Structure 1
Amino acid sequence: MTTFLGPHSEADDHLDLLASLGHDVRIVSAAGGSTDKAGVLDAFARDLDLPDWFGRNWDALLDALRDLEVPRGQTLELVWDHVGALRRVDHDTYETVVDILEQVQDERDDVRITVIAR
């Protein structure tokens, strides 16, 4: 189940809790202008240090997220943060990314998703 946090939530407390539980917390930040498809794909590539083969399209994002390595026995908490502006400006891109994240979460027992719309 995906966790959605709004602009008035205690997002930083949530992130601290995940880290204290021993989760491998990785944050993709849409802050600073990721308000379109290209910006979102760039943010994922940058913040997750995706491999050179990442083609900056939706299929490549899905494949790259499927291939993320997680230390044995740990849960990967993939956090997509600061998405409020994208959700308002380009709702289709926002929905597409949420769908991709949830697909990866459904396919992998070791992945959990948090989306923060601040």
Structure 2
Amino acid sequence: MFNPEQISQAQSLIEAQYQSFNTCARALLQSSASLVDLQLDTVKTALATATVASNQMLSLKDPQDWFSLTAAQSQQAFDRAQAYGRQAAGIASGAQASLSVAVEPLQGLFHNLTRK
């Protein structure tokens, strides 16, 4: 049968797993919420930018102005895309760090159990 030490180890492992899974779930929910917020902000910005761009296009009188405007808009779009990438990478990095912290106690427990 099982001795008291094995039962104690099993209880510790179950508690650690519960805490780890709970922490992982919280980290994933927070990361998902951050990504949704980022997406919503991106959509709002894109709609506002499209409105401004269409109004600017309608007011153009010279083809040279069109080239200047499209070049400026392209640069702004590129800058927004880079900012989006940095923010998304920051969210992913934060999620990875949170998940790493969450599984550390389990790694230690599994390591101790396999050494015996």
Q: Choose between structure 1 and 2: higher helix proportion.
A: 2
Q: Choose between structure 1 and 2: higher strand proportion.
A: 1
- TM-score between both structures, scaled by the size of structure 2: 0.23
Higher radius of gyration, 1 or 2 = 2
Q: Which has the higher relative contact order, 1 or 2, with Cα contacts under 8 A spaced 6 or more apart?
A: 2
- TM-score between both structures, scaled by the size of structure 1: 0.23
